[in-house]
């Protein structure tokens, strides 16, 4: 079955950086677009960024554009999110997500088109 296990979160001061990782298994990783989504305190899950299958293209939510970088290593079945210039508004639980809606190879900004059943990783930005 599909497994997504996130890691790399933690406590960081405003302006700091974190790199999240997601180990994926149970499916052909390179055939699926992957995304990062997050749940901010008291809010619905929101899309942060996606990367197409085979690493062919990325997109970012306005809140992440210019600060976050999504990447993937298909040989290692691993997804990454480099987060820079973090602010308290970035505090939340981050999940990696597998595109399940058709076509799975190309990402979208619609959270409903993804599966994100991992435990997530907590990111806290605070001084």
In angstroms, what CA-CA distances link 112 with 44, 53, 99, 108? Answer: 12, 18, 9, 10
pLDDT digits (tens, 9 = 90+) for 89-110: 999 999 999 999 999 999 999 9
Q: What is the pLDDT of residue 56?
A: 73
Spatial contact of 18 and 123, defined as CB atoms under 8 Å apart: yes
pLDDT digits (tens, 9 = 90+) for 5-38: 999 999 999 999 999 999 999 999 999 999 999 9
Q: What is the pLDDT of residue 60?
A: 98
Could you tell me how many residues make up the chain? 127
Q: What is the pLDDT of residue 32?
A: 97
Residues in contact with 31: Cβ distance below 8 Å, sequence separation at least 6, in sequence order: 53, 104, 105
Name the strand (E) or helix (H) holding 58: strand 58-60
- Mean pLDDT of all residues in 45-63: 93
Q: What is the pLDDT of residue 83?
A: 98
- How confident is the prediction for the chain on average, in pLDDT? 96
Percent of the chain with pLDDT over 70: 99
- What band does 54 get if pLDDT is binned at 50, 70 and 90? confident
């Amino acid at each position: 079955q599909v497994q997504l296990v996130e890691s790399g979160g933690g406590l960081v001061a405003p302006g700091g950086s974190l790199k999240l990782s997601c180990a994926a298994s149970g499916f052909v990783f390179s055939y699926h677009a992957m995304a990062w989504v997050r749940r901010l305190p008291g809010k619905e899950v929101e899309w942060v960024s996606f990367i197409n299958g085979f690493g062919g293209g990325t997109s970012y939510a306005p809140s992440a554009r210019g600060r976050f970088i999504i990447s993937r290593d298909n040989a290692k079945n691993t997804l990454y999110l480099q987060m820079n210039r973090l602010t308290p508004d970035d505090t939340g639980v981050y999940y990696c997500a597998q595109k399940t809606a058709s076509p799975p190879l190309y990402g979208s900004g619609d959270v409903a088109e993804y599966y994100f059943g991992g435990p997530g990783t907590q990111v806290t930005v605070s001084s």
